[in-house]
Structure 1
Amino acid sequence: MKSRLKQRIFALSLLAWTAVCPADAQQTRSLRDQFLSPSDEAKPWTFWYWMYGAVSKEGITADLEAMKRAGLGGTYLMPIKGIHEGAQYDGKAQQLTPEWWEMVRFSMEEADRLGLKLGMHICDGFALAGGPWITPEESMQKVVWSDTIVNGGKLMAIRLPQPKAYENYYEDIALFALPVEDAADEMQAKITCVNLATTGNVKAAQTVNMDAAGVIRSSYPCYIQYEYEQPFTCRNIEIVLNGNNYQAHRLKVMASDDGVNYRLVKQLVPARQGWQNTDENSTHSIPPTTARFFRFYWAPEGSEPGSEDMDAAKWKPNLKIKELRLHREARLNQWEGKVGLVWRVAQATKEEEVGKQDCYSLSQVINLTKQYTGHSNGKTLTATLPKGKWKLLRMGHTATGHTNATAGGGKGLECDKFNPKTVRKQFDNWFAQAFVKTNPEIARRVLKYMHVDSWECGSQNWNKRFAIEFQKRRGYDLMPYLPLLAGIPMESVEQSEKILRDVRTTISELVVDVFYQVLADCAKEYDCQFSAECVAPTMVSDGLLHYQKVDLPMGEFWLNSPTHDKPNDMLDAISGAHIYGKNIIQAEGFTEVRGTWDEYPGMLKALLDRNYALGINRLFYHVYVHNPWLDRKPGMTLDGIGLFFQRDQTWWDKGAKAFSEYATRCQSLLQYGHPVTDIAVFTGEEVPRRSILPERLVPSLPGIFGAERVESERIRLANEGQPLRV
């Protein structure tokens, strides 16, 4: 059997080799020529960061000449932060000023002289697409709401509280009245914390405690108890954090009527989540439970080993909770992610948690939007509701508040990713200006790449045309179901989950059809190639779909940074490129969370080779930081982040050139071939979604993984003890 398996593997390998190898002698010679004399297309590139406006012409010349000597094909010019954030560097070239544009012009001229090409990001900084020209109403939007309890049976004229607004911007969408049985959603409780660690080397300072602000912390097993004077019916638990704490979502919920005898209610299950998970709270639905005592047990044992779709689990298991809110009213499980406010993949709501009786039917909900008249906060509701208690749900939209956070003089709100006009406005006010503020002829010759970096500006779930787009794409009207976007279940949990999946699908499509499509069209206008990194795991999306609009897909791999490494970033770019027929697959390589000044080419080669084997064929070194001085070494860094790959590196003159020549020859052959894929994996219909890491397929595809990988996956699935990383 083993012999036959080896024969089959050899046959598959031979088939793959013949698929990428030339068929005749002439093509073989061409391949040999490619290796011996690679084209400029095969050369590696680098990111060129200008820090704090500290830029000089002599430094620009020295940098670009060093890149040329090292065998690079070009660089993406990206300014980071402004002169006021790094006053100690005495920068004079604040972004968007004449001084800054003069430096950009000079860079283009020097690159042209040296035969290098340049690229620029779509905005100041590296994430993602914003600027001071974007007004709050043109920025990324999200749905917000406020509710007011009133008694029906009589004519009322009432002003309603405005939902929370960001950037002093808010617009109404609709107003609904929903019948309620009890006005009190929450009750006051006495909170106590009890340490359960009594043996071993227990450090008292790390046992469970609650500080003056109510924040609960623990490094040892413990429970948190909520005691009510009267029985309280809890249907969901809202977890409020002041950071990204995975452990807070692993609580075991117990309930008691007498404080002595406890019964299990539910073991909370964390949603799959990305690194930018702090924009919203997390609400876990539970079976309706009436009790006077609720306990939330926690222990570090059983913590999942960290992974890219459970980023916060990479850290030492410590519990930290700002607040637990127990609610009487029904909510969909983990609704914050399901409505598209944040990138999460959670379990579906179960009927034993939210039954049919807990879901509002369309006939129960009264739309009062037309009776709500006036302007802004002067609006008044004049209506007569049937007898009983009613919740008035005022729903609107506001700015998410996200900015291109790493920018300097060009910092501002992130543009609305669903509005083609604002995306175009962003392009026109930044990238297009590089062809206006410099020498247009040289710019057209040198600036050949437009880049969108990794998505680091949260998610978006609304704009003024979202409901119209939803109906066009999904075939039905979203507006009657709008309370779902507040997590309120409607019709049934199955119907609620389906509609919210349609919401997320619409979000995912708009990101591609508007944001990436408009930028692709803009790039073509200027005869530029469009380069882009990953959307997941930040923007609610299909993590592969946007690569169909991109000329040059890009992922990212990290160096010596297990807490930050994101292998799915590379797999998204590689899979997307293969699916949509993109020959060049770029990688932002050797990003390092904390440089230790011990990196050298021999240390880097194995990591690069691994990513070549995965599918990349154009390396971008991260990072070359501009050094404005010729007499100060080693120069500036990206605040200590990234591989120190620049002219004042001790091994630059010989090592950088040798390593880049190696990369060039590898890439010349890899770009010459075409991928042969033996296995296709269906990524499912859930949104968000992205590529599948190969090791996750160990249980599904036995026999094709090595023993070490199979064993590491066995350990991960067993999840015993406190594994931080496998």
Structure 2
Amino acid sequence: MPAVIFLIVMILASLESVAQKRSIKNTSSKSIERGFKLVPDSVRPSMYWYWMSDNISVEGVKKDVEAMAKIGIGRAFIGNIGYPKEEVPYGNVKLFSDEWWKVMRTAIATATEKKIDIGLFNSPGWSQSGGPWIKPSQSMRYLAGDEINVTGPLLFSKKLIASKPDFQDVAVLAFPATSGKAEDLHNFHPLITSDINFREPQKLLDENILNESYNDSIAKPGATDTINIQVNNIFTARSLLLFPGKKPFKADVELQYNSNGTYLTIKKFEYDRTNAANNVGFISYAPAAVSFRAVTSNLYRLLLSNMSGYAGFAEIKLSGAAYIERYEEKQLAKMFQTPLPLWNEYQWPQQVEPENKALLIDPAKIIDLTKNLAADGTLNWNVPEGDWVIIRYGMLPTGVKNGPASPEGIGLEIDKINNAAMQHHFDSFVGKIQQRIPLTERTSLKWLVADSYETGSQNWTDGMLPIFQQQYGYNPLPWLPVLSGRVVGTAEQSNRFLWDLRRLIADRVAYQYVAGLREVSHKNGLKIWLENYGHWGYPSEFLKYGGQSDEISGEFWNEGTLGDIECRAASSAAHIYGKNKVSAESFTAAGLGYARYPAGLKKRGDWSFTEGINNSLLHVFISQPYEDRNPGINAGFGTEFNRKNTWFYQGKAFVDYIRRCNFLLQQGKPVNDVAYFIGEDAPKMTGVRNPELPNGLSYDYINAEVLMERATVQDGKLLLPDGMSYRLLVLPQLETMRPEILEKIGALVKEGLTVLGPAPLRSPSLQNYPAADDRLKKMVLDIWGNVDGKKITIGKYGKGNLLNGVSMQQALDMLQIIPDVALKDRYVLYTHRKTTEGDIYFLTNQTDSSISIEPAFRITGKQPEWWDAVDGSTRSLPAFTQTSETTIIPIKLEAYQSGFVFFRNTNDKPVMQNSKENFPVPSIIKKINTPWKVQFDTAMRGPLQPVVFDKLMDWTKSNNDAIKNYSGTAIYKTTCTISSLPSGNTFYLNVGMVKVMAKIKINGKEVGAAWTAPYRVDITGALKKGSNTIEIEVVNTWVNRLIGDSKLPEAERKTWTNVNIYTPDSKPQPSGLIGPVTIEAV
């Protein structure tokens, strides 16, 4: 074994490791530095611009755009949002009214004048694509079946009545009834009891799902219950269906049976029916079905544990019939109940096969009666002898509507797997806007926006039968009874059909919906901007879905974990589909109205950059139509990036920081050593990293489409046409893979790629079954050989390597992949971009403490520099050590501080001056202890006269209510005398602590802003020997004034906002210049 490893290492060491020069944008380091200091307009951040609940005005949108231009916003995406009137009172400018059209025209024309690009959400609301112009026949639909039982011989002639309106016929099938149906438990007159007193528990077995039985109280944390079922005679069970009641309930369920006085476990599973919204499944109260080997007893019980919600069900169906396990979930009728599905949420273990063929439907015996159905719904058929089931299949609308939007803009969602109505949808909203506004006034209108997908699933569309057959090569018609849980052929075949259906839906959502939006947008001179994931009922595959968009976006919330999968989902899709810019809906939030400010946003924003984001979008600017209301219209979500927020204009310093970061992070290409294959199962909103990468290395997710169509191998690396390359491909721990993708992976390995992961055992698809499995097994034997991951873990195939059963570190060692940045502290995060003129590393301290680190960068022979995006400064890092593989640099970072290490390519030998410090400790040359004259804004209820502060203090500690409750800007002024200025030094004004932002002038010259650690500004060019005037403009948040006004009678209040969480008991926010203020020299 050691000899084999040594041989492989030697082979790999001989491979050319130089990056492909064609893959990196040829940009000189001088032009990069110039762009960093004078950031181009092309990297201005974007903004969601919400028009809330008809509260808009011509003058308001004009001022909104002007305000955006002042702080450096480059794009504004208009969303017509309607919210419950209890939260956002409705205004008078109704959607599509004459005044609304005037406002829209003004907004776009003003943006054109101010050179701000405009995007339009493609329909009212933020999710997704619909409106009152969408007919039921153009909407999202699912396949439903109305069934009847008949016994032949019989001449059947009867009108089949569709059970619901808008039923669109698809097919009529008949098949022999299977055995086991008569063995449903309710036919055995069981006795049922519950330990926690379900209300009327016999309703659980009455075959009426309208009769619920539940406990009246919400289950307490950790609560358990036992439901006991007893029958007089023995009963054979093969399946259990739990029909949910109308009240949300979740529990761990254990089904047991009694054998000779001992209860034995049949099945353990999770039951979750906590969300009945139709955007997490078009069958709101779909049963949860599980299957198992036949068990015979007269005593059964359900053990419920980890319960939440109201314990109860509409029906418990313990049956001797064979059912497809989780058939409702497998057809997307019921989906993951919360926003963030796990990578394997739509994967299920192989189901046990029923032991008796009489329990199964033979696909060869299914009769297509579609032509026997008359236009009026009458079916005529000579029924053969025996018991038969007739099912009339048709499409029904899922009923999901776009939103949240004003009533005038709400309607059905457009079909996501058929683009036939896409042009109609576009013409009905965005197209009308283009028609109504002259081209000369709307040159700024460039983008069509699709926010995160939140409109759930569908599983059928017009022409689905031939579409399916064209995709997979077999007729899906005989397999339709699987959708009602029946087993057709075998359980394995039935489940494979459902896999094919889910995969087809995922692909068509990408190619019919997203690509359809793109096509109609391009035809009309627009591009699309898309978030490539969905928090409610997402039916597609995040990589392929994003790959069809012009620009891809993630999302992250300022607090919590939302964003932890979305940002990497976006950056991975962008990287593998050749898109350089990666957006993110940034600083989305809930609650804490007006309490957030840039210093508190920076940590999460920096985190997003390390996930691959480089084209930030701020959430959210809510249009402000009422000049006499302050802080004005808001909502219970988002960070208030609008012109009426106190710190909005000073927030330009934060916007400039984001611009500089975005600029550098758009240079070159990202360096990610590992590609994690996400597998082929669908839906999928994230991948899996197993084994996980150690700190100091980065990755992308990659999908089958990119591997099949875009991947080649060069110098042992997986290479994509746009320049991305990866040294290791990791397969998920799955047993399935289609033979086509396995064949391509084998070809990549043969050309020199190294793959880590297990060999697949079978195809997940019914396509070419069972020949596809035979083909796959032959390829596995050829590629993996005897590499079983146990006895043998390393093997060769062509020029490449197969690794199975080894750790990630072992794989990295074998490939001689060292950390890109060796970081001992896991709270320091990084990202790396490579250009032809140098390497750009971004580092962020994610802690609230200052730290000293010595990261080892996987770079040698280059000169390191420190580039600070807070002020745009660049300087050399004189102290560093270089080895044959790395450059080690001592770095100090303040709390939440970040910065760029730029390794500039040079023909000269790097100059090391280890006697110097990279981050020298400043020396204080002057403590500012003189009194400060402070002018508050009287319009914001500040003191009427300037106030002298002998000592700096937190405003909330003042005895003066006009200061204690003040929100807004205050200007501090003082003078100081400098007796001498040492030559060759850089001088800084350090403001100590400021809440929340400060803009600084020295001797009348504006020198910068202090808004984040280390809260100091370079004043070298403004400071002079002798007397100096210091002016500091400080701004806080709205919080303290809102608290202060809450203590006043309503008539005396000067603030107004529709969502106001503040009361007299709310805690005030520290505010003002708190200091100490010093002048420092370095």
Name the TM-score class by shorter chain.
0.7 to 0.9
How much does 1:17 deviate? 11
How much does 1:613 deviate? 0.7
How much does 1:663 deviate? 0.2
State yes or no: 1:299 paired with 2:305.
yes
Q: How does 1:383-532 map to 2 (within 5 A)?
A: 383-386=382-385, 388-408=386-406, 409-443=408-442, 445-532=443-530
Aligned match of 2:327? 335
Q: Which has the higher strand share?
A: 2
SS in 2 for 1:441: helix
Pairing partner for 1:277 from 280, 297, 305 = 280
SS in 2 for 1:603: helix
Cα distance in structure 1, aligned partners of 2:39 and 2:245: 52
Q: Deviations over 1:359-395 (max 9, x none)?
A: 311233233323333424xx23432222x32222222
State yes or no: 1:40 paired with 2:41.
yes
Q: How does 1:599-610 map to 2 (within 5 A)?
A: 599-610=596-607
Aligned match of 1:256? 258
Change (3 A) 1:93 1:596: closer
Return the letter of the residue paired with 1:701. Answer: M
Cα distance in structure 1, aligned partners of 2:381 and 2:334: 35
Q: Deviations over 1:425-453 (max 9, x none)?
A: 1111111111112233222x111111111
Return the letter of the residue paired with 1:340. Answer: L
SS in 2 for 1:153: strand
Cα distance in structure 1, aligned partners of 2:281 and 2:477: 28
Cα distance in structure 1, aligned partners of 2:334 and 2:671: 35
How much does 1:59 deviate? 1.6
Q: Deviations over 1:299-344 (max 9, x none)?
A: 23xxxxxxxxxxxxxxx95564443431423221111222233445
Contact 2:518 2:548 in 1 (8 A): yes
Change (3 A) 1:592 1:30: same
Cα distance in structure 2, aligned partners of 1:141 and 1:338: 16
Cα distance in structure 1, aligned partners of 2:327 and 2:609: 40
Aligned match of 1:683? 678
Aligned match of 2:1043? none
Cα distance in structure 2, aligned partners of 1:492 and 1:86: 54
Return the letter of the residue paired with 1:107. Answer: A
Change (3 A) 1:375 1:327: farther
Aligned match of 1:62? 63
Change (3 A) 1:400 1:50: same
How much does 1:96 deviate? 2.2
Pairing partner for 1:613 from 593, 610, 615 = 610
How much does 1:397 deviate? 1.2
State yes or no: 1:235 paired with 2:238.
yes
Contact 1:241 1:320 in 2 (8 A): no
How much does 1:702 deviate? 4.8
Contact 1:283 1:333 in 2 (8 A): yes
Aligned match of 2:771? none
Return the letter of the residue paired with 1:367. Answer: D
Pairing partner for 2:808 from 698, 701, 705 = 701
Cα distance in structure 2, aligned partners of 1:707 and 1:247: 41
Pairing partner for 1:592 from 576, 589, 593 = 589
Return the letter of the residue paired with 1:283. Answer: A
Aligned match of 2:649? 653
Pairing partner for 1:670 from 653, 665, 668 = 665
Change (3 A) 1:458 1:569: same
Change (3 A) 1:224 1:645: farther
Q: Deviations over 1:585-642 (max 9, x none)?
A: 110111113334321111111111111011011111111111211111121223x011
Q: Deviations over 1:648-674 (max 9, x none)?
A: 2222221x2111110000001111221
Pairing partner for 1:575 from 572, 577, 580 = 572
Cα distance in structure 1, aligned partners of 2:258 and 2:178: 27
Return the letter of the residue paired with 2:614. Answer: N
Contact 1:64 1:111 in 2 (8 A): yes
Structure 2: 5+ residue stretches without partners:
1-12, 198-203, 205-209, 336-344, 694-805, 811-818, 828-1082
Contact 1:179 1:364 in 2 (8 A): no
Q: Deviations over 1:98-135 (max 9, x none)?
A: 22121110101111222211100111101111111111
Change (3 A) 1:709 1:664: closer
Return the letter of the residue paired with 2:570. Answer: A
State yes or no: 1:137 paired with 2:140.
no
How much does 1:20 deviate? 12
CA RMSD of aligned residues (A): 3.4
Cα distance in structure 2, aligned partners of 1:560 and 1:417: 32
Cα distance in structure 1, aligned partners of 2:274 and 2:680: 17
SS in 2 for 1:156: strand
Change (3 A) 1:695 1:107: farther
Aligned match of 1:268? 269
Q: Deviations over 1:180-225 (max 9, x none)?
A: 33654461654432259xxxxxxxxxxxxx9995234522122223
Q: Deviations over 1:6-48 (max 9, x none)?
A: xxxxx9xxx8999899899x70101101101111221111111
Return the letter of the residue paired with 1:673. Answer: G
Contact 2:594 2:645 in 1 (8 A): no
Cα distance in structure 2, aligned partners of 1:709 and 1:229: 63
Return the letter of the residue paired with 1:254. Answer: Q
Q: Which has the higher helix share?
A: 1
Contact 2:142 2:282 in 1 (8 A): no
Return the letter of the residue paired with 1:285. Answer: S
Cα distance in structure 2, aligned partners of 1:32 and 1:17: 22
Work out the number of aligned pairs and report it. Answer: 656
Contact 1:236 1:284 in 2 (8 A): yes
Aligned match of 2:640? 644
Contact 1:359 1:490 in 2 (8 A): yes
Q: Deviations over 1:539-582 (max 9, x none)?
A: 322221022221110111112244xx242222221111111011
Aligned match of 1:31? 32
Q: TM-score, normalised by structure 1?
A: 0.83
How much does 1:471 deviate? 1.1
SS in 2 for 1:697: coil
Q: TM-score, normalised by structure 2?
A: 0.57
Return the letter of the residue paired with 2:630. Answer: K
- Higher mean C-alpha displacement, 545-554 vs 232-241: 232-241
Q: Deviations over 1:126-176 (max 9, x none)?
A: 1111111111111111011122222222323333453x435x444242222
Return the letter of the residue paired with 2:808. Answer: L
Aligned match of 1:326? 317
Percentage of pairs with the same residue: 26
- Higher mean C-alpha displacement, 366-375 vs 493-502: 366-375
SS in 2 for 1:239: strand
Q: Which structure has more RCO (C-alpha within 8 Å, separation ≥ 6)?
A: 1
Aligned match of 1:303? none
Cα distance in structure 1, aligned partners of 2:272 and 2:212: 27
Change (3 A) 1:28 1:709: closer
Return the letter of the residue paired with 2:472. Answer: R
Return the letter of the residue paired with 2:111. Answer: A
Cα distance in structure 1, aligned partners of 2:350 and 2:178: 21
- Higher mean C-alpha displacement, 262-271 vs 414-423: 262-271
SS in 2 for 1:363: helix
Q: Deviations over 1:248-304 (max 9, x none)?
A: 3x211112379x64221111156999995354323222333344433221223xxxx
Cα distance in structure 2, aligned partners of 1:356 and 1:673: 61
State yes or no: 1:214 paired with 2:205.
no
